[in-house]
């Protein structure tokens, strides 16, 4: 049975926007997802504001457009879920030391390229940055996420991308000694510590319950 965690309660622990998108769906490590946080386009907009892909004014403009054109909003939401699936496949493979599937890489690149067609370059103080064109196109919700994913893939610290030991979450390990094992010590880390403690206690009880071997019979008896 699928569990739902509201976007406002979701822990944003990926360290990169594209990883946080992948983490809107979770489950056991190495298993199928059974936890969901994106049910519809409205959830996507709230998540976008939370991670900085949208501001409140943009989200309100897109909300009004979605109310007028629900079919277009559903299509944009479906595209986002496809992007999420590709992002997970690409970065989960990197986290495990494997090779990212080429179809997923190509789709991620295509999504970022499509998004960039709706952006301009803005220069200030000797730097150049991306500026997203003001629009009420429902796909505006995922364009900056796709672009951020390609940027991270090309220029991010991919050798620090890891998978949580207690769930499907992906995260950027920014510790100096690269020792982070969990998406959050408050959640998966604590649960693992409890499981380890319970297992050790059970093992000690089993040892105490095992009867000591009796004396061997004397030879020649």
DSSP for 28-84, written as a single string: STTS---EE---SHHHHHHHHHHHTSS-HHHHHHHHHHHHH-HHHHHHHHHHHHHHH
* Mean pLDDT value across the chain: 88
Instruction: Show the domain range for 57.
Output: 3-209
Is 91 a member of any domain? yes
Helices (H), 117-189: 143-155
pLDDT digits (tens, 9 = 90+) for 6-21: 999 998 999 999 999 9
Is 192 a member of any domain? yes
Please state the domain count of the chain.
1
Is 221 a member of any domain? no
- 2: confidence class by pLDDT, cuts 50, 70, 90: confident
Whole-model pTM over 0.85: no
- CATH code, 74: 1.10.3300.10
Is 144 a member of any domain? yes
Closest Cα partner for 58 from 124, 114, 4, 137? 137
Is 104 a member of any domain? yes
Is 108 a member of any domain? yes
């Amino acid at each position: 049975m699928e569990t739902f965690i509201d976007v406002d309660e979701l822990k944003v622990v990926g360290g990169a926007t594209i990883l946080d998108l992948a983490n809107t769906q979770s489950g056991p490590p190495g298993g199928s997802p059974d936890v969901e946080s994106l049910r519809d386009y409205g959830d996507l907009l709230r998540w976008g504001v939370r991670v900085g892909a949208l501001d409140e004014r943009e989200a309100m403009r897109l909300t009004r457009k979605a109310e007028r054109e629900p079919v277009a909003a559903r299509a944009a939401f479906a595209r986002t879920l496809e992007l999420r699936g590709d992002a997970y496949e690409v970065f989960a493979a990197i986290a495990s030391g494997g090779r990212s599937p080429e179809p997923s890489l190509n789709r991620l690149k295509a999504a970022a390229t499509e998004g960039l067609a709706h952006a301009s370059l803005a220069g200030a103080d000797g730097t150049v940055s991306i500026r997203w064109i003001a629009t009420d196109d429902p796909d505006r919700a995922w364009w900056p996420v796709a672009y951020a994913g390609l940027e991270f893939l090309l220029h991010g610290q991919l050798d620090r991308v890891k998978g949580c030991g207690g769930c499907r979450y992906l995260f950027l390990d920014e510790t100096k000694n690269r020792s982070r094992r969990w998406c959050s010590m408050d959640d998966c880390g604590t649960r693992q510590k409890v499981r380890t403690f319970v297992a050790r206690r059970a093992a000690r009880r089993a040892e105490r319950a095992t009867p000591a071997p009796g004396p061997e019979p004397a030879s020649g008896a």
